[in-house]
Each structure stands twice: as C-alpha cells, then as structure tokens.
A and B are shown apart, each in its own frame.
Chain A
C-alpha cells in the first residue's frame, strides 16, 4: 500500500503484527542488530515477545533476564554467590562474588528484556548503553574481573510519551524501533481467538496471537547476503538526516540483510531495504531507489523459500570508488563520489521519519533529560553513600564498601568456637591457621552523609538598584535553613566583580555561611552576564542532582533578575566585550535556561523587581524557559531601598 506521499517517497505499510514478528525474526537471524525498542507496547506484553524470540533462536525462555527499576549494579554485574567447597570449619558455605545476571557465562543471557525503558533503574540503562550491540564487555567489581563477548539480544518497550525524554545516548543503542500502537487495534476473528486460547501457556505458544516463528529463521541462520552499492545508497538515503548517528545506517543495513536472508536471497536488493525501512517506520525517497530496483510494493509477507544452494562466497576486497588511501595500506579518506554527492544536509528528511516519530531525538526541539545516565529520573529514597568521610563502621549484609579490618576483628572474637568443628574433624593444624568469617561478621564503613537538598541562588545585582530583595528571598532562604540544604550562590553584575563579563559562584555548606550575607548587599554594576550566570548555576545543579549516590533529592533554582541580560554567552566564555550590545544576551539567557527543565527534582522560580517599567514580560519569558514560575513580588514602601 503506497503512502500518500508516494510521489516523493516510496513507503508502504506492513501490518503491525507482521512488523513485530519480522523484526524479531531479523534479530534472531543477526544478533548484531543488538536490540529492538517497541514504542507504545504495554510493559506486560514484552515478556511474550521475549519468549517468542527465545524459541526462535532455540534458547530456553527460562534463561531470559527481565530488567526493571529495582536492579542495582551488583545484581547485574556481580552478585554474591554461595560458594561450594568451602572449608568445613566454615560450615561448608561462604560468600563469594560471582558473575551477575548480565555476565552469566559464556555470553550473557540469550535475551534480556526491559519492559519499561523509561522507568528502568540507572544500573539497567547504563548496562544497556554498555552492552547493546557491543562486541566486547568487561566487568570489574568487588575483586572480580570478567570479560566476555556479549551475545544477548535486547528487547525494550516504552510509551511514546516517554520516548522524547529518554537519553539520546540510550536511544542510540536502539536504532531499530517498531511502533506497536496499532498492534492490537484490529479485531480478532473467532478462529484466531480460539487458536490463542488453545495455545496460551503452551511451550510453543504464539504470544498474544502472533504467528509462530517460521522455519525460515533456521534456514536464514548463517546466511549473510551481500549488500551492494545500490542497496547501500538506499539505506543511507532512507536514514537521511545528517543528525542520524552511524549506528542507524548500520542497523538498517543489517535489518535489510536479515530480511534478505529470511527470503533466502543471496543479495540485498533495494526492495529488501525498502521493506526493512518500512519495518522501522522510514520511507525511502523515490530518487534513492535505482530504477532496476524500483519494484512494486512487495507482498505483505513473502513465504519462506527454500535455500538456494550454499551461502554466497565472501566478496573479495571492498569497492574503492571514490576512496583514496592516504598512504599505502593506511587509513582511507573519501575523496568524492563518482556521482554528484551532496552532503546529507541537502537531502530531504524522509516523510516517514517525521510521521513515524520514532526518532524524536533528531528533532531540533528535542529536549531529552540531560545526563540521565548519571542518575535515575524517578524519585527515590535517600540511599547510603559509598563516599564521604568515614566516621565509623556498622554491620552490613552487603559486600559493598566493606571494612575488612572491622569484619576480621568481629570474626576474631568467635574463632575458638568456630574452629572447634575443624579441630574435631582431625585437622587441628589447618583449623588453627584459618580465620572463619560468617556473613554476620560483615561490617561496612559508616560515612558522613552529605546534604540532600540544594538551593541555587542566582543574584543579578543590576536589578536591585531600588529594591530591597531580602524579604522576597526569605521564604527560600528559610526553606534552605530548615532542610539543611547546601547553597550555591551565583552572583553577576555587581560593582566589585572581578570580571564584568562573567558571573562568580561559590558553594556553601548551609545558608548560615557568612558569605551569603555579603552577597545579598553588593552594589549593582552595569553588565549583566545572565546567560553565563544561569549556565554556571545549572552546571552546579547538574552535579548536585546527578553525581553518584550522594545526589540531591530536592532543589530550588531561584533566579533574582529582571531578565535583561546584556552579555552574550560567547562573550562571557571568551571574556571579550561584545559590540554592539543587542538582544543576544537575552536570547542566550533563555536558551541556557531551557537546560534547567531537564533537571530532575529541581524547581525553578524567577524573582523580579516589582513594578518593572521596561520589558516587564522578560521575567515571565525567563520563567517559561526555566520551566518555573514567577514569584509574586508586590511593591510596598518597605521593599524600596
């Protein structure tokens, strides 16, 4: 079925269920595809798809690993295992670190599923970034070193609403995405319902009514069709946009190759690329398809074909059109294309890309959570930090941050008792040499906790010429006091600034720091590097809310400004006075402020001077950019300086 835009792009639709099974079949055929992200799939429906994939590759579904919001780094990489062959004196058991669920020998689990990628734990998302599509993996935790060649196939699901706020870095690991929103829109026939009811729960059941894995998967395994120049051109043009990372080209190329293998073809034809592109919601520009390969819309699901002889022999050498070697045998440089080769920026964005909306991170207006692989976005209870000043030890049941000395000292108290069984068993000498440690002996360090709340205060001194702002700041300073919050103060535009073009920042352990009093009463200056000041504050906050386990749980970004920044960001960074002074400083401030919207657990407020005569809308623009509010500051004689 041709798309309405068929005049410009060749696109055809594949029924959603067929889309899902074909993509899963492709993943079964070529593990290098890494993983598939199902957009719009309810979390509960991913496990049946994982089981389907397990059946397709001949793996036991029991070996499939499900990853969610609770998994920690230790669960995934290295978990304490009960050892066998422990000394008899220890009661025959001990606790040793062993490979975690994703590092199970020899190549990790056959299939790993993340039912809700947007709510997966930090450990899970970091694992996905590390492992999906990787050639090699390594784990170094708790005395254990493991390296392996991952062969895990990953399936993930997330709602379309969550897609836009996922890390671009994470999404990059899932270049193969399938829209499943219409998967179950079609009404099932009574016959299909009967089949689903009959098969539900069976070892070879077709999950949720999907057709069973076909024999064509088995026949396609090991078949590696050749992808020639024509097909490669179609792949690159189907992906189109220059913002697309190379992984997407490779994924579409591999997908097309798997489609060709499933059809028992030895050559990847442009039609295979079209089919693969349709699977992931891309349309192929018509001019990208060579006339010889411009085929009518393919059949919805070509029947599996018998293999035609042996695999195609590996082609010798690589095409070297347009490729120059810098030196004999050295790295190559592309010197040009035999055909007129424009840059990808010249290419139109395929209409399929825009309409499918599966690659939201490409859009200029995309605003994914910044640095989300450093801290999970969901609110969580305060965790004990593995960093910070050691202030003692405490019993523990975990192996993290163990205090060896305290553990051994605890165990030492019971040694005569514990060695007794060994002595009685006839090896008194052996028993005398060994120290027997039980799990109950384990002690970890107790560390000083850091503040879990932060107040970031941006003070634009140019705006308090006739305004006593302390009263308006009082609620936020009071909050910081009662929450024992750390305070980051960013000051700009005061007469005594070391540089008029830059803001200054310092961090105080609490609001009681004496420097804060001084910061509230500086004489105003002329320049207002608001963009730089906001950048500084947002960077500080990012560190506070992202880094490590001691991250901030709650933060306020309080911007005291009239929004009239008159120093562009680049001028601040270069420390060169701007000329002429236009509105660039204001535009930069709004652009930088947008970064605050991506910070989790941070609330923003703009406090502007009361009764602004000029540009009264600027504070509201700034608050909108920050994703915050404008505080109600009413003029009163008391607030006038």
Chain B
C-alpha cells in the first residue's frame, strides 16, 4: 500500500468554521487543555479541518484511530509474524505511536462515538494521565504517551456518555455554513484543489501553503510562550472570572475552569496579547462549558443558547473588566481577594 497523499486540502483554504479552527489551535498551543471533540452534522468539514491542521503542524497526517481498530493495535501487542517464529517483538499501538515524539502528537479519532465504549475509556484514560499501562498477553509495561486527542462525532449516531465528554477539554459544535456565498466559495476551492498537482502547485495553492507556514510559525511561537515560565500568568481577576462562570453554569468538578484558563492563555498567546484578559476567558467559555453542564445522566446535551447563555458569560466578563479598570488593587497581584 502506498502512503496517503502528502498534499491534502490546505488549512488556510478552509472556509468558515472559525470555532473549530480556534479550538484546534488552542489544543496545540496548550496541550494541557486536553483535546478537542468536534461535534456536528454530516458534511461540515470536521475531518477535513482536523487533518488539514495536523498536516500543517507536523507535515504529516495525524495518527488516526479507525473505527474498526482492535485492542492490540490501540494498546500494542506482540508482532504476530515474529511470534510464529518463536520471537517476541512488541509492536507499539496507536496510543504509543501518537505519543512517541518529543512533542505531544495528535491522535485523531474519526467518529469517536462509533468506537466501542471500552476502547474510548482506555483512550481517554491515557490521554488524561499521559501514561499508557499495558498488561496483556504476558506483557507488563508502562510507557509515556502524551498526545492531543482530537475526536469527531456525528450526533446522529448517538452521544458519548457525560463522563467521557468531560474528558475532552473543549467541545465545538459545528454547523453547516448557511450563506450562499460561503457554499459557493467552498465549492470553488474544493474543485480547484481537485485539479492541483503536488509537483507543480498553482499560484493559489502556493499562496495557501505559504499561509500555512506563517500560521504554523505563529502557533509554535505561541506554544513556546505558553510553556515559558512566568509568561501569561493569569491574574486573580481572570481566575475568579473562570471560577464564577463555571459556578453559574452548575458545572460539576473543576475541570471546566482549569480548561477555560488554559485555553484563555493559549488564545492570548495566539493573538499576541501581553496578558490574559477577561475577553479571552469569555471567548473560550462556550467550548469549555457546553459538554460539562449537568444535564443528567441521559447524555442528551443541552445546546449552547445565544439568547440565554451568551449573556451570562458576557455579564461575568463585563464585571471582570470593570474590576480590572477600576482604581485600587485591580486584581493583578497574586493575593488580591476576589
């Protein structure tokens, strides 16, 4: 079998889907956010965007977990041919492959809700701990496996359980583009891409690839900034803001505010902001909160409402901004009371 094509639809050619692109970029810049779940109807460029992003950042397609994968390929197992020759050779699984690099790689799961639950459990455990413990077929090993988990799902095929949803740092709900202009633009671009020759890209494609490189450099710089000691430390006002939003939405546990703060730092770094502002928190609140709101155990997810939920976030953000601009201890010091 030959390798998949190296030339895939360029990230910079994706039309619309701003929320999805932003979430992927945040997850790359701040891996501690804990992955992205892209949830949307069919034909909303979920897979295209995820693959294009991985291709842009790593130069290769992401390690992909197909829906029919067996345990031995997910966790690792003995090399069957060697085994039959009385040799024991361990063949790393996809989780180990994705986390093998110096930098956390991307593990891409297309149609994550079509995977058997026990596989999803295993993957999410490894994603959250960064350690892959294998105890099967006489093998006993623990290896580091750090990767950014990106999953896509079509809700028509059923939901993930709330416990599993919570393990994804961010959730993005994508919708079909609605304007005629956007649909026409998608059509034109994809059909143009059909004609491209990897050996001799058109001017338009060459420009798109250049844009990719610029975006990649920007994201790498942002990632370094987020990882640097003392950079973009959030103020107490920002921390308090995240906690306040999480509390108002009745989120269980504290993962939501942690994700919000990490994502806000990443967003500030991507935008080149000197510090994390309340607006950054407000911008990532939806992706961090939507799937963590208590909706009972049925798994039916309450969609984010522009009418009722956006104003709540906006009110908190406005209050935090007012605190920052008001005279006195503006909450930038580490001991400022909230």
Contacts and interface: CB of A to CB of B under 8 A. Distances in A.
Contacts of B302: 570, 573-574
Interface in A102-153: 103, 105-107, 123, 126, 129-130, 135-149
Given A227-B188, A336-B181, A106 B1 contact: yes
A122 to B, nearest CB: 10
Interface string B87-110: 000010010000000000000001
Interface in B58-99: 61, 64-70, 72-74, 77-81, 83-86, 91, 94
Nearest to A129: B111
Interface string A249-262: 11001100100000
A511 interface: no
Interface stretch (A4-12, A45-53, A295-303, A542-550): A542-550
Contact of A103 (B1, B11, B185): B1
Interface string B310-322: 0000000000000
A368 interface: yes
A603 interface: no
Contacts of A105: 1
Contacts of B64: 138
Contacts of A149: 2-5
A572 interface: yes
B151 to A, nearest CB: 15
A332 interface: yes
Given A246-B186, A249-B186, A373-B157, A314 B84 contact: no
**Is the interface on chain B under 10, 10 to 19, 20 to 34, or 35 or more residues?**
35 or more
18 contacts: A96-B80, A135-B4, A136-B51, A138-B4, A140-B66, A168-B156, A169-B154, A232-B184, A232-B188, A245-B42, A250-B191, A317-B202, A329-B211, A333-B16, A337-B181, A372-B157, A387-B118, A573-B300
B176 A143 contact: no
Contact of B202 (A148, A315, A344): A315
Given A130-B66, A235-B187, A246-B43, A317 B207 contact: yes
B4 A140 contact: no
Nearest to A538: B298
Contacts of B157: 167, 169, 370-374
A139 B111 CA distance: 14
A544 to B, nearest CB: 12
A606 B70 CA distance: 41
Contacts of B178: 242, 343-345
Interface string B181-209: 11111111111101111000011100100
B179 A337 contact: yes
Interface in B1-33: 1-5, 8, 11-16, 18, 21
Interface of chain A: mostly helix, strand, loop or mixed: mixed
Which residue among B181, B192, B202, B250 has the maximum number of chain A CB atoms within 10 Å of its CB?
B181
Interface in B138-184: 138, 154, 156-159, 176-184
B291 to A, nearest CB: 13
Nearest to B82: A143
B248 interface: no
Contacts of A87: 85
A532 interface: yes
Contact of B80 (A86, A142, A147): A142
Contact of A236 (B15, B80, B180): B180
